[in-house]
């Protein structure tokens, strides 16, 4: 760990993705270079891994994550409403709206990253422009009369704006947090868990009191009120002149078996991961739960993910990433097969939501360690590009989960007891199997493949 940290400290003055040269070569940016720049240009850089500016920046990342990703993560509330209220009641592909919002946003991060990599001056504008697009998407969505309209607005357009607004985090977080980078990513992604625990209650109340049109408009205005003030703290640590010099994209990490194994686990886990969040409220209603009691499932899933993300962020700074992923996979698998599969009342279903949210919802917080492991094998790999590719992998799984879930539900109930005997049996099996296989990198490391 000491060697890792000493290497990363050298990177604090480097542009994103740049690496120290070998002995005898001159590094593009070193601490001495920065000191010289500070002396000649009359400014000093704020400290990394702590200090007022670093913590305020992390707070801004937390808030952006919470609002950008928390809204589509709470789509289960909308799905239940759309399924039972006009003009969408009885329509097909309702689940596709949420799958598009999350899936495309995961995937378009790589496109936004490349754009901001080659046009660094646009980074400062990316987040406010993206937030405007998101608000526009929700406003237009409030005018929808068909599910196809919602897919385009609340799904696709929202995802484009969200991806653009979020991507600058990949550039800035590398500058502000070095020794505790895993913690920084974990704390950022915990924002999704917290907002996912709060938003369902608010959305449920708004939807049933005012309808979906007013709800989407209120959400659009709330995004403006809550997001734009924090942009004052969302800023780079290094001057643009220091971060804009390395614009090449080294994709050689795709030839690394380590990366491919870890990425495959990420994709497999993502195929089933989103299914409980989408269908928990509906399943709870099938058990006789009231509207509020069904929404509690989403609250517990996301609230537990908040704590799981924080713990995973700290853990990957101390333990090997495959060990952390194995613990996550086993906890998720046990929760699915023993808690959801045997749940015939609300109490065990709530326990499932807590356990699954904590163990399954933290997987993305391990990406900083996957990046570190990948760059140990491929020194030229760009950290942000590795993250973006992992995001694409999760997006592929998310997009597959929408049509897959529709097909699994139409497969009909199994001749079995407990929850397996309901129409959700195939969903439960799919979620459990993908959760287990998502941690297969632990076995790959044991047999020497990784």
Domain residues of the chain, as ranges? 52-446
Range with the poorest average pLDDT among 4-13, 274-283, 286-295: 4-13
Position 143 confidence tier, pLDDT thresholds 50, 70, 90: very high
Condensed to tens digits (0 to 9), the pLDDT of residues 174-210 reads 888 888 888 888 889 888 888 888 888 899 899 989 9
CB 70 within 8 A of CB 306: no
pLDDT for 414 beyond 80: no
pLDDT of 140 over the 90 cut: yes
pLDDT at 322 over 90: yes
The yes-or-no verdict on residue 223 having pLDDT over 90 is no
pLDDT for the residue 8: 38
pLDDT digits over 303-321, tens only? 899 899 889 988 988 899 9
In the predicted model, what is the mean pLDDT of the chain?
83
Would the pLDDT of 35 be above 50? no
Indicate whether 417 pLDDT > 90. no
**pLDDT tens digits, residue range 180-190?**
888 888 889 88
pLDDT score of 26 more than 70: no
pLDDT at residue 313, as a whole number: 87
Report, as an integer, the average pLDDT of 144-151.
91
pLDDT tens across 60-81, in order?
Answer: 999 999 989 988 888 878 888 8
pLDDT attached to residue 36: 42
Q: Which CATH architecture has domain 52-446?
A: Up-down Bundle (1.20)
Q: Are 16 and 170 in contact (CB under 8 A)?
A: yes
Over 70: is that where the pLDDT of 22 sits?
Answer: no
Tell me which long-range contacts 50-59 makes (C-beta under 8 A, separation of at least 24): 53/176, 53/233, 53/237, 54/176, 54/177, 54/237, 56/233, 57/172, 57/173, 57/176, 57/233, 57/234, 57/235, 57/237, 58/176, 58/177, 58/184, 58/187, 58/188, 59/230, 59/233
């Amino acid at each position: 760990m000491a060697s890792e940290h000493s290497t990363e400290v050298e990177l604090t003055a480097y542009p994103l993705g740049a690496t120290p040269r070998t002995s005898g070569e001159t590094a593009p940016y070193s601490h001495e270079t920065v000191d010289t720049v500070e002396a000649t240009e009359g400014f000093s850089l704020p400290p990394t891994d702590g200090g007022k500016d670093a913590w305020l920046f992390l707070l801004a990342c937390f808030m952006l994550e919470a609002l950008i990703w928390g809204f589509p993560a709470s789509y289960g509330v909308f799905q239940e409403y759309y399924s039972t209220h006009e003009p969408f009641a009885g329509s097909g592909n309702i689940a596709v709206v949420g799958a598009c919002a999350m899936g495309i946003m995961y995937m378009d991060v790589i496109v936004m990253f490349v754009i901001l990599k080659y046009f660094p001056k646009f980074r400062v504008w990316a987040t406010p422009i993206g937030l405007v697009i998101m608000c526009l998407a929700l406003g237009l969505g409030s005018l929808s009369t068909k599910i196809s309209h919602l897919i385009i607005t609340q799904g696709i357009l929202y995802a484009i704006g969200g991806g653009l607004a979020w991507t600058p985090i990949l550039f800035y977080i590398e500058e502000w947090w070095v020794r505790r980078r895993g913690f920084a990513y974990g704390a950022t992604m915990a924002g999704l868990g917290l907002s996912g625990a709060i938003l369902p209650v608010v959305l449920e109340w708004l939807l049933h009191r005012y309808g979906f049109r007013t709800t989407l408009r209120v959400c659009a205005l709330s995004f403006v009120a809550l997001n734009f003030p924090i942009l004052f703290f969302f800023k780079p640590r290094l001057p643009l002149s220091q971060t804009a010099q390395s614009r090449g994209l080294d994709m050689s990490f795709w030839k690394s078996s380590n990366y491919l194994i870890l990425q495959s686990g990420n994709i497999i886990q993502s195929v089933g991961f989103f299914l409980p969040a989408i269908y928990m409220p509906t399943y709870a209603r099938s058990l006789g739960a009231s509207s509020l009691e069904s929404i509690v499932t989403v609250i517990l899933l996301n609230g537990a993910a908040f704590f799981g993300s924080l713990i995973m962020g700290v853990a990957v700074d101390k333990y090997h990433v495959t060990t952390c992923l194995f613990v996550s996979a086993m906890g998720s698998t046990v929760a699915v097969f023993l808690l959801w599969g045997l749940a015939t009342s609300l109490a065990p279903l709530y326990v499932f939501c807590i356990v699954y949210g904590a163990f399954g919802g933290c997987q993305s917080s391990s990406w900083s360690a996957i990046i570190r492991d990948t760059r140990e094998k491929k020194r030229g790999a760009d950290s942000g590009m590795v993250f973006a590719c992992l995001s694409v992998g999760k997006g592929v799984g998310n997009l597959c989960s929408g049509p897959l879930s529709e097909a699994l539900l139409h497969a009909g109930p199994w001749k079995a007891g407990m929850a397996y005997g309901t129409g959700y049996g195939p969903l439960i099996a799919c979620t459990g199997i993908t959760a287990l296989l998502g941690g297969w990198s632990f076995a790959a490391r044991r047999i020497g493949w990784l």
